[in-house]
Amino acid sequence: MIKLLDARLASRIAAGEVIERPQSVLREFLDNSLDAGADEIRVEIEGGGIDRLSVIDNGSGISREDLGVLGNRHATSKLHDEDDLYSITTLGFRGEALYSIGAVSKLTIKTRSEETGEASTLVIDNGRREPVLSTGPDKGTIATAENLFSDIPARRAFLKRSQTEAQMIRTLIVSKALAFPSVRFSFVSDGALRLDWPKAETLKERVMMLYRSEGIAEADVEALHSEGEGFSIDIIAGNSAVKRSDRKEIRIYVNNRPVDDYAVQQAVVYGYGELLPGGSFPVAAVFIHDSPELADFNIHPTKREVKLRNKAEIHHAITAMLQSGIKRRIPRIEPRQPEFYLDSAKRTEEGRSTSSFSSSPKTYSGPSSPSLSFSERIGSSYRESDRAWLEKAKALKKREEDRRQAVKSEPDTKEKEEEKRTSFRYIGQAFSLFLIAEVDGELLFIDQHAAHERILYDELIKQKSVQKLLVPIHIETDDISSSFLDEHSQVYTKLGIMLSKRDDSEWEITALPASCRPVESEIVDFIQSSRLDEKELEAKLFAVIACRAAIKAGDSIDRWSAESLIEKALALDEPACPHGRTFIIKLSEKDLRMLAGRTG
């Protein structure tokens, strides 16, 4: 038998699409507060927001006339006709939020209209609407939801522990607050103040409120801005010293809404290119302000998705901004004040002493973690550096070459030969991996494999010599690989790798760059498995070749080879391997003396 659903049951089913947990309630309350022009917003919860969740703002309030309509389904002040749907400038617009909240909780709206000065209070208790009362706050609005899902035990049972729900709420407040630096946000959970972010002058100042709590120094963060036709973009992003193991810290905002957009996240990753090692992702907050006519949020009730009609232009702009604005940082070892000089109150939690490696004074210093690897501790101790050390090394090398030219006609002595060496002094090899050299009063520790890998990679990119093979190299392919090569074999040709097809499942290499002969098997494996575009194909292929051909960790090398490698490494524009890993760490004489306890 077919029958119409009960009105209250239907409203609860519909509410389930919008309200999943206390965090969903908060999202809708915050949108309304921000649309009302509030610059002070306070969130208070009890029991993880399940028992009670209130948002108190100082916005423009709601008139009593509007409050009489508010809470009905599709009641909204944001849209007036169909055309408005294609030029949305507010965070809320559907008219479903308060209706849905009132269907699954006790919703109370206390408000004072800035326009009329009238105070009013509306209560909707699980779909039951009560008369509007003539009482309310002195300013703004207080929206409260109590006993969420109390009349729907099955839904309430799926909520998590109150501590977990409270953490989700805090995460949402942070996410919202990043896009509104001119608004103060505070958060109180079970009577305890958990967050208080004052107003900020700039986006960077606001984003740093989050980044500092994660141990990111302001010196490691760049603020970028760009404008295009119909859009503008602001990016607050960490440099190469700041990285994560996943994409969670790539935050995307479109017209002040946090959105999930993998394609825009990918544009950020492409923008960093080789600045970060493989498997690492940047920390960046991207704020896109697009013309309302070009951004469509009417896709999902949570408004976490957006369609951008000018997405290609925005992607290109993001990538270009990051490529030109984010620079590589060189790791630097710094001593911290020895533990016996520290006051006991400054010791880290659980009695652990601070790490021997420190960052600049402005960097957040939290408890040291025994799980951090050496490279991770070094990575957390970067300092502001404009690569001046590299420029100094190059300048010294240039001056030495000029001096050599000036004394070329003079008879050489053993002493002069020593003076005419390059502008570094080779000290030796450590752990069969690091080459140690002194440059302009600083020690450089150079990863021999990564440095050699980069040098070979750059040579491969520039190489022109191609050798025909007397005996072609056969490649067996599956249907997918063969089809890919049918369309993209010319890409390999541009790289000096000549391919010809013998039949549907077999190809052969007839010519290779001269430098690729020692790694033929790796090239075959790469061709059999890769499905990349031209730019990625070149980068990945040559990176594989360089990696296989480079000196390995554990290889002992003679002094002449080490000095030649160091000289070439110092001449590079970017001290990073093709996978993005920085291969130089430096230690100044001053810092080494401090580590050794020398005061004079």
For domain 203-325, give the fold: Ribosomal Protein S5; domain 2 (3.30.230)
348 has a pLDDT exceeding 70: no
CATH class of 7-197: alpha beta
Q: How confident is the model at residue 408 (pLDDT cuts 50, 70, 90)?
A: low
Q: What is the pLDDT of residues 211-261, one digit of tens each?
A: 998 889 898 999 999 999 889 999 999 988 888 888 899 999 999 989 988
First to last CA, the chain: 95
Sign of CA pseudo-dihedral 501, 503, 507, 510: negative
Q: Which two tokens stand for residue 520?
A: 């033929």
Over residues 394-422, mean pLDDT: 52
Average pLDDT over residues 324-342: 65
Whether 58 contacts 109, CB under 8 Å: no
What digits encode the pLDDT tens for the residues 89-137? 566 544 567 888 988 899 999 999 998 899 999 999 988 889 999 999 9
**Mean of the pLDDT values across residues 25-49?**
94
Q: What is the mean pLDDT of the chain?
A: 77
pTM: 0.61
Q: Looking at the predicted structure, is the pLDDT value of residue 285 above 90?
A: yes
Q: What are phi and psi of 228, to 5 degrees?
A: -135, -170
In our burial notation (b when 16+ CB lie closer than 10 A, e otherwise), range 257-281 reads: bbbebeebbebbbbbbebbbbeebb
State yes or no: pLDDT of 362 exceeds 60. no
Instruction: State residue 135's pLDDT score.
Output: 92
Higher pLDDT, 592 or 354: 592
Cα torsion for 512, 516, 518, 519, to the nearest 10°?
-100
User: Which of the listed ranges 51-55, 112-116, 275-279, 317-321 does the model predict with the highest average pLDDT?
Assistant: 51-55
Lowest mean pLDDT among 241-255, 285-299, 405-419: 405-419
Q: Which residue has the higher pLDDT, 71 or 590?
A: 590
Percent of the chain exceeding pLDDT 70 equals 72
Mean pLDDT value across residues 359-368: 35
Beta bridge partners, 426, equal: 437
pLDDT greater at residue 427 or residue 378: 427
Tell me the C-alpha distance between 79 and 84, whole Å.
Answer: 6
Q: Report the C-alpha gap between 256 and 247 in whole angstroms.
A: 20
- Section 364-386 average pLDDT: 38
| H-assigned helices in 495-558 | 520-529, 534-549
Q: In terms of pLDDT, which residue wins out, 313 or 380?
A: 313
pLDDT in tens, 436-475: 988 888 888 988 888 888 888 887 777 656 778 888 888 8
Closest CA to 177 of 158, 150, 196, 192: 196
| Percent of the chain topping pLDDT 90 | 28
Q: Is the pLDDT of residue 284 over 60?
A: yes
Question: pLDDT digits over 163-219, tens only?
Answer: 999 999 999 999 999 999 999 999 999 999 999 999 999 999 999 999 998 889 898
pLDDT of residue 456: 82
- HSE at residue 131, side-chain half, CA atoms within 13 A, is 2
CATH architecture of structural domain 424-600 = 2-Layer Sandwich (3.30)
Contact 90, 35 (CB under 8 A): yes
> What's the confidence (pLDDT) of residue 26?
95
Cα torsion 563, 567, 572, 577 to 10°: value is 0
pLDDT at 420: 42
Closest CA to 282 of 332, 197, 222: 222
Could you give the CA distance from residue 260 to residue 246 in angstroms, rounded to a whole number?
14
- Report the C-alpha gap between 143 and 252 in whole angstroms: 28
Distances (CA, A) of 572 to 31, 331, 382, 561: 50, 16, 20, 17
Bridging pattern class, strands 40-46 and 184-189: parallel
Residue 73: per-residue pLDDT = 61
Q: Average pLDDT in the 410-417 region?
A: 49
Would you kindly state where each structural domain of the chain is located, as residue ranges?
A: 7-197, 203-325, 339-379, 424-600
**Pairwise pLDDT comparison (512 vs 104), residue with the higher score:** 104
Tell me the DSSP string of 123-173.
Answer: EEETTEE-PPBS---SSSEEEEEESTTTT-HHHHTTS--HHHHHHHHHHHH
Residue 301 binned pLDDT confidence (cut-offs 50, 70, 90)? low
3-state helix vs strand vs coil in the chain, percent to 5 = 40, 25, 40
What pLDDT, on the 0 to 100 scale, is given for residue 123? 93
From the number of C-beta atoms within 10 Å of its C-beta (0-12, 13-18, 19+), residue 541 rates as buried
Cβ atoms < 10 Å from Cβ of 6: 9
